[in-house]
Amino acid sequence: MSVTEETTANVTEADLTAFIYREARLLDELRYEEWLSLYAEDAHYWMPAEWQQTDPKLQASLMYEDMLLLRIRVERLSGARTFSQKPKSRAQHLLQAPQVDEIDMAANRFRTWTPFHYAETRGDEFTMYAGWARHEMRLEEGQLKIVLKRVDLVNFDAPMGNIQLFM
């Protein structure tokens, strides 16, 4: 990321916004290896299953995945015997401009809040989802990395079909 490389001393709102958009673009272009590289080694991707959930592990979640589990997902998507990806899924993100909730250089902590609409399609099926993504990030060697991505669906409690890609 050229923006952050030049601004290791300071992270601006524009840096964070560009980073969030870039993540969505990598997901929409199915560039998963590059997408994973946006995450810190101790990162988690969390989709709560309860309203205003506070605990990812002792309350029900749709996903609470560390890098090992995310790598398994990514590798599975391209597996020769991954029948639920024959045909393959595609995704599209429509993001509202991210709001920056925190820029704390001293604590090396940056947080954003991004309402989104997300479409996932496979074969003749097309499904829309809506929700809010919260990113917590930090700088590692001058690069922004995601430490926690939390995706709250507006209808987290409704019965859903397969969600195979990433919001």
Partner 1 sequence: MPATYADPAQLRALVKPEAVHRDLYTDPEVFRLEMRHLFANTWVYVGHASQIPNPGDYLTTEIGDQPVMASRHTDGQVHVLYNRCPHKGTKIASEACGNTGKFFRCPYHAWSFKTDGSLLAIPFRKGYEGTGLEESEAVRGLAPVGATKVYRDFIFARLAPTGVGFEEFFGESLSSIDNMVDRSPEGKLVLEGAPLRYMHPCNWKMLVENQTDTCHPMVAHESSAGTAVSVWEREQAKGGPKPMAVEVYAPFMAPYDFFEKMGLRVWPNGHGHTGVTTSIHADYSAIPGYYDQMVEAYGKERAEKILGENRHNTVYFPNIMVKGPIQTLRVFKPIAADKTLVESYTFRLVGAPDMLFERTLMYNRLINAPTSIVGHDDLEMYERAQLGLHADGMEWVNIQRLYAEGEAEDVTDVAGGTSERQMRNQFHAWLKYMLPEGQAQEAAE
Rounded Cα–Cα distance for residues 25 and 166 (Å): 12
Side chain identity, residue 98: P
The pair phi, psi for residue 30, each rounded to 5°, is 60, 35
Q: Give the nearest distance from C-beta 165 to partner 1 in angstroms.
A: 10
Nearer to partner 1, 13 or 55 (CB): 55
Q: Give the nearest distance from C-beta 144 to partner 1 in angstroms.
A: 24
Is the peptide bond prior to 87 cis by the omega test (within 30 degrees of 0)?
A: yes
Query: Binding residue for partner 1 (CB under 8 A) from 16, 20, 43, 47?
Result: 47
What lies within 8 Å, CB to CB, of 145 at 6+ separation is 38, 39, 40, 43, 137, 138, 139
**In 3-state terms, what secondary structure has residue 16?**
helix
* Residue 109 sits in the site that holds partner 1 (CB under 8 A): no
Query: Binding residue for partner 1 (CB under 8 A) from 63, 137, 144, 146?
Result: 63
* Residue 38 sits in the site that holds partner 1 (CB under 8 A): no
Nearer to partner 1, 83 or 107 (CB): 83
Residues that bind partner 1 (CB under 8 A): 47, 49-50, 57-64, 66, 68-69, 71-73, 75-76, 79, 81-84, 157-164
